[in-house]
Amino acid sequence: MDHFDADILILGAGGAGLRAAIAAAQSAPESTIALVSKVYPMRSHTVAAEGGSAGVVQDHDSLDNHFNDTVAGGDWLCEQDVVEYFVEHCTPEMVQLEHWGCPWSRKPDGHINVRAFGGMKIERTWFAADRSGFHILHTLFQTSTRFPSIRRFDEHFCVDLLTEDGRAQGAVVLSLSTGEFTAIHARAVVIATGGAGRVFRQNTNGGIVTGDGMALAYRHGVPLRDMEFVQYHPTCLPGTGILITEACRGEGAFLLNKDGNRYLQDYGLGPAEAKPRNKYMELGPRDRLSQAFWHEQHKGRTLTTPQGEAVLLDLRHIGSARIKERLPLICDLAKQFMGVDATTMPIPVRPAVHYTMGGILVDIRTASPLAGLFAAGECSSVGIHGANRLGSNSLAELSVFGRVAGEQAALFARGSSAARRSDRAVDVAAKALALLDQKGAGERHAVLRAEMGASMEKGCGIYRLGPEMQNTCETLAELRKRYARITLEDKSRAWNTDWITAIELGFQLDVAQAMAHSGLARTESRGAHQRLDGFEQRDDANFLRHSLAHYRSADAPTVTYAPVTITKSPPGQRAYGALGEHEEAASKDVSPKGGRPPAPKDPAHV
């Protein structure tokens, strides 16, 4: 097999991976950076993000506000020191992107325009029409071509990490076009491979979002943190799960049930007003909106469409001109996939899995417990999202922690000895090749993937029940056994996607197990993990802690717990709408040492 020596290896060339590569190239110009991606960089799923990226700019806004919104949005499961670092660095990173050419939307005077977004008290979401992720990704990719020290391995699939002497020392990658292996040896490795939403049946994610890097780190002993927290985006097209951006709601769209009512006011997010109001109604946080849908569905107030139950996202009152200017992609999607003209008809939408809050355990420097292994972006759990992510914090995360990862990896590489050319690489390749010839029951892996997706949707949905999660855990264990006996139809080497997607399924099953077991173990409700089986309340006494899932090969993972770093924001009640304003006012009247007034009962749980 071929060998390649690099100083820094970056797995994944989406927003975080590209930002890390650029940061490494800038901070250590003499280093060789290998940037590996299983797709050409511009296909990375960052491209599909629509709404925008957060960064405090307005005079009446503050870092404290962004901090508080984020921590409350995360239901106090955030690493608050990391959030403090994060909010401080968002705006400079957005400025950096603009300097690199990112076509942020502007006010008439040429300054950056910001829009309202769910769960944010004051508008601070920078946006590029409704294609923010697309523009950020293309800006980063095109800028990265400036640096000859970044050596790209496009359409190379990472089959496994190479670890030696307790250190990450590279990876074995497979060229999609030839089916041949290359061992890349590096002094530091950054994983930026994205989330794992494809383990669920209905999701907004592209086909490539299969948790590859999460599974690899996990299998090498790095815990996956907070995996039970999976975000359902409330407005996605039924059936395909295609994302309809939160920006629609930022521009003032309403969510209506089949009777034409703005039902969110029944769930503690009201009162309903004509104009959008931050943290009220449709601008509440995503978990609350998805939960409201679930309740409406159970009350029989959702619309039945050929692709399943839905509610209506009504943009009409925003006006045709503004819709076409601010939300052009949404118009196209509604037309092509639902046959709906968004300027004259409401769009059927429903929640679908969108984002993985949890991921590879890393600290504020993006360093994992495995020496030399760093992670950034959706694949990581750096601690800013907690139990529920606020929209537009994820694109900002890519830049802020992508940069940190690149710089830290470069620093680590500079202080490390050269990577040893491991014999392990040959074993890794052999194991991957063995899948080609695997003889077993002759089952198609597509069948297993469908069963996994259905089981995760049922057991780890918007609301969870112990017995259902237990079922899912058992199903996943059974699927893993069946996976060991699948046969591939395609035994060739060149562009064998049967083989690649089978390897991806292996990754997905491991990550799904971490999600299901972590969910089962958390006997409380917090953020995106909501239970209806006697554990409906938040339990700070026992569960103001992060979950850590530990890989145990053929057995189910074990789940342990780690404390949460609290600095400035003691755990409070997550309240939005008028309740939120009441809470905020009340908390200002009470000294930090005093008690809090009792929170109104959450109507969603009656």
Residues 6+ apart with CB under 8 A from 581: none
Query: Which two three-digit tokens encode residue 413?
Result: 């590489």
Omega of the bond leading into 271 within 30 degrees of 0 (cis)? yes
Q: Are 6 and 184 in contact (CB under 8 A)?
A: yes
Given the rule CB under 8 A, which of 138-146, 316-324, 423-431, 554-562 is the region that contacts other proteins? Answer: 138-146
Given the rule CB under 8 A, which of 163-171, 330-338, 379-387, 422-430 is the region that contacts other proteins? Answer: 330-338
Residue 100 in the binding site for other proteins (CB under 8 A): yes
Q: Are 502 and 445 in contact (CB under 8 A)?
A: yes
Nearer residue to other proteins within complex by CB, 55 or 284: 55
Considering only residues 436 through 465, tell me which ones interact with other proteins, judged by CB under 8 A. 444, 446, 450
Residue type, 541: A
Query: Which two three-digit tokens encode residue 368?
Result: 């994992």
Please give the order of strands across the beta sheet that includes 156-164.
Answer: 2-5, 181-185, 167-175, 156-164
Residue 103 in the binding site for other proteins (CB under 8 A): yes
Given the rule CB under 8 A, which of 165-173, 211-219, 366-374, 496-504 is the region that contacts other proteins? Answer: 496-504
DSSP H helices, 299-359, are 320-326, 328-338
Residues 6+ apart with CB under 8 A from 172: 1, 158, 159, 160, 162, 181, 182, 183, 184, 425, 428, 429, 432
Residue 3 in the binding site for other proteins (CB under 8 A): no
Phi, psi of 563 (to 5 degrees): -70, 160
- The single residue of 89, 131, 135, 233 carrying the catalytic annotation is 233
By CB under 8 A, name the one of 63, 329, 411, 599 that touches other proteins.
329
Residue 58 in the binding site for other proteins (CB under 8 A): no
By CB under 8 A, name the one of 1, 3, 64, 106 that touches other proteins.
106
Please report the DSSP string for 179-196 in residue order: --EEEEE-SEEEE-----
Shortest distance, CB of residue 599 to other proteins, whole angstroms? 39
Query: Which two three-digit tokens encode residue 434?
Result: 């063995």
SS3 state at 443: strand
Residue 470 in the binding site for other proteins (CB under 8 A): no
CA angle 596, 601, 603 (to 5 degrees): 150
Longest dimension (CA), the chain: 70
Considering only residues 544 through 563, tell me which ones interact with other proteins, judged by CB under 8 A. none
Residue 341 in the binding site for other proteins (CB under 8 A): no
Given the rule CB under 8 A, which of 104-112, 400-408, 554-562, 579-587 is the region that contacts other proteins? Answer: 104-112
Residue 81 in the binding site for other proteins (CB under 8 A): no
Which letter does DSSP use for residue 511 in this model?
Answer: H
By CB under 8 A, name the one of 25, 171, 230, 242 that touches other proteins.
242
Considering only residues 168 through 207, tell me which ones interact with other proteins, judged by CB under 8 A. 175, 177-180, 206-207
Residue 156 in the binding site for other proteins (CB under 8 A): no
DSSP H helices, 100-152, are 132-144
Instruction: Select from 398, 369, 374, 367 the least CA-distant residue to 384.
Output: 398
CA angle 35, 87, 399 (to 5 degrees): 15
By CB under 8 A, name the one of 101, 369, 467, 570 that touches other proteins.
101
Considering only residues 36 through 55, tell me which ones interact with other proteins, judged by CB under 8 A. 39-40, 42-45, 47-48
Question: Would residue 233 show up in a list of annotated catalytic residues for this protein?
Answer: yes
Instruction: Select from 507, 427, 409 the least CA-distant residue to 35.
Output: 409
Residue 433 in the binding site for other proteins (CB under 8 A): no
By CB under 8 A, name the one of 3, 58, 111, 300 that touches other proteins.
111
Residue 27 in the binding site for other proteins (CB under 8 A): no
542-572 residues labelled b (16+ CB within 10 A) or e (exposed): ebbebbbbebeeeebbebeeeebeeeebebb
Residue 1 in the binding site for other proteins (CB under 8 A): no
Given the rule CB under 8 A, which of 109-117, 351-359, 428-436, 476-484 is the region that contacts other proteins? Answer: 109-117
CA angle 246, 257, 315 (to 5 degrees): 45
Nearer residue to other proteins within complex by CB, 146 or 298: 146
Q: Which residue has the tokens 């264990």?
A: 477
Residue 243 in the binding site for other proteins (CB under 8 A): yes
Shortest distance, CB of residue 45 to other proteins, whole angstroms? 7
By CB under 8 A, name the one of 76, 104, 294, 551 that touches other proteins.
104
Nearer residue to other proteins within complex by CB, 336 or 537: 336
By CB under 8 A, name the one of 108, 592, 594, 595 that touches other proteins.
108
Nearer residue to other proteins within complex by CB, 41 or 346: 41
- Residue 201 CA to residue 351 CA, distance in Å, equals 12
- Residue 215 CA to residue 220 CA, distance in Å, equals 9
Q: Which residue has the tokens 């080497």?
A: 493
Please report the DSSP string for 48-70 in residue order: G--S-EE---STT--HHHHHHHH
By CB under 8 A, name the one of 66, 115, 124, 135 that touches other proteins.
135
Considering only residues 500 through 539, tell me which ones interact with other proteins, judged by CB under 8 A. none
Shortest distance, CB of residue 307 to other proteins, whole angstroms? 5
Give the CA count within 13 Å in the CB-facing half-sphere of 202.
Answer: 24
Nearer residue to other proteins within complex by CB, 138 or 262: 138
Nearer residue to other proteins within complex by CB, 110 or 534: 110
Instruction: Select from 191, 134, 129, 128 the least CA-distant residue to 158.
Output: 191
- The single residue of 115, 124, 249, 546 carrying the catalytic annotation is 249
By CB under 8 A, name the one of 3, 29, 319, 336 that touches other proteins.
336
- Residue 560 CA to residue 554 CA, distance in Å, equals 18
| Residues annotated as part of the active site | 233, 249
Where does this chain bind other proteins (CB under 8 A)?
A: 39-40, 42-45, 47-48, 92, 95-96, 98-101, 103-106, 108-112, 131, 134-135, 138, 142-143, 145-146, 154, 175, 177-180, 206-208, 239-240, 242-243, 306-308, 329, 332-333, 336-338, 444, 446, 450, 488-490, 492-498
